[in-house]
Amino acid sequence: MTISRRRRMLALCSLTAAGMMSATSVHAAESDRQGPQLNSFPLAIGFSMLSPDVDAPGTNDWSCKPTEKHPRPVVLMHGTWENRYNNFAELAPSLKNDGYCVFGLDYGDTPDSGASMHPAVKGTGDIRRSAAELGEFVDEVLAATGASQVDIVGHSQGGVVPRQYLKEEGGANPDDPSENKVRNLVTFGATHHGTTLSGIATLAEHMHVLGFGRLMLGQAATQQVRGSEFMTELNADGDTVPGVDYHVIATRYDEVTTPYESTFLKAGPGAEVRNITLQDGCLLDASDHLSMTYSDRAIGYVKQSLDPTAPEPPCAPNAPVF
């Protein structure tokens, strides 16, 4: 073998070894599924664009067992075009540090719209199908933890999907509410009664171009327009189901769920509703739709909703994304 050929062989072996080491490193990185704790939505969405399949820190520990103080696991539901990481990179570890078993799923991941082409963008598919996905996930959480009920915390569409699950997908038992699979539903800026999207959705409907929006934005986006067939059916028999406590968090600066008061619910028989506006008693909190899950005040309200003995939510500054 000539010297030049020997050198080429050594170089090839070195490249092969380096490639194997690199592949091992990538595999090790992929096995660590939890992303970092971050304190703002722009930072979290930037990270998730590069790492679209990570869990929020503190979530999806399937060996976690609820405690006497926190007997129900918490299931986190992201909003439209968001995912289980970027929506909850601050809330999830905060709940975990308080002793909760915390779980989160990506739902509505359907490749049938322009928005869904990026792997980090979830929550675009039919809300009815997403509610069935939630039902399967809740059953897995209950089986793993041994709990009889969960609490659900959802942002935007992530508050509407659980209501569909409660009404149509087996999340609640109208004949015996003690058999409900959900005890508390806490929502951030949820599109409970549809949205005008600051007038954009209404204008699109009047111009008869809303159907094209589905191709670009996804079915879930058009289902959340005020007056849509889905919204009409969801709210036809009232906002609530018996045996569930609803805690509804709103911000006056919501530019997506508009008007912001449309997120508020009205209690029906056997249910309790608490409607909360972040700016009531705290002008420092300027959260908009996207930043509200990173608000210390909103996180405080979540904890108080899950545990009435939790401290009073703080009044602290929080900037809008837009």
pLDDT at position 199 is 75
pLDDT at position 24 is 29
Read off the pTM.
0.87
Q: Rg of the chain's alpha carbons, rounded to an integer?
A: 22
Instruction: Write out the CATH class of domain 38-306.
Output: alpha beta
Nearest to residue 226, comparing CAs of 245, 241, 212, 206? 206
Domain boundaries, the chain: 38-306
Cβ neighbour number for residue 239 with a 10 Å cutoff:
18
* Residue whose tokens read 């909703």: 305
**Which H, E and C letters describe the chain, residue by residue?**
CCHHHHHHHHHHHHHHHHHHHHHHHHHHHHHCCECCCCCCHHHHHHHHHHCCCCECCCECCCCCCCCCCCCCCEEEECCCCCCCCCCCCCHHHHHHHCCCCEEEECCCCCCCCCHHHCCCCCCCCCHHHHHHHHHHHHHHHHHHHCCCCEEEEEECHHHHHHHHHHHHCCCCCCCCHHHCCEEEEEEECCCCCCECCCCHHHHHHHCCCHHHHHHHHCHHHHHCECCCHHHHHHCCCCCCCCCCEEEEEECCCCCCCCCHHHHCCCCCCCCEEEEEECCCCCCCECCCCCCHHHCHHHHHHHHHHHCCCCCCCCCCCECCCC
Give the phi and the psi of residue 62 in degrees, each rounded to 5: -75, -5
Q: How far apart are CA 200 and CA 305, in angstroms?
A: 33
Longest dimension (CA), the chain: 89
pLDDT string in tens for the chain (322-residue length): 433 333 333 333 333 333 333 332 332 333 358 999 999 999 999 999 999 999 999 999 999 999 999 999 999 999 999 999 999 999 999 999 999 999 999 999 988 766 667 899 999 999 999 999 999 999 999 999 999 999 999 999 999 999 999 999 999 999 999 999 999 999 999 999 999 988 767 766 655 655 656 566 789 999 999 999 999 999 999 999 999 999 999 999 999 999 999 999 999 999 999 999 999 999 999 999 999 999 999 999 999 999 999 999 999 999 999 8
Q: How far apart are CA 322 and CA 320, in angstroms?
A: 5
pLDDT at position 316 is 98
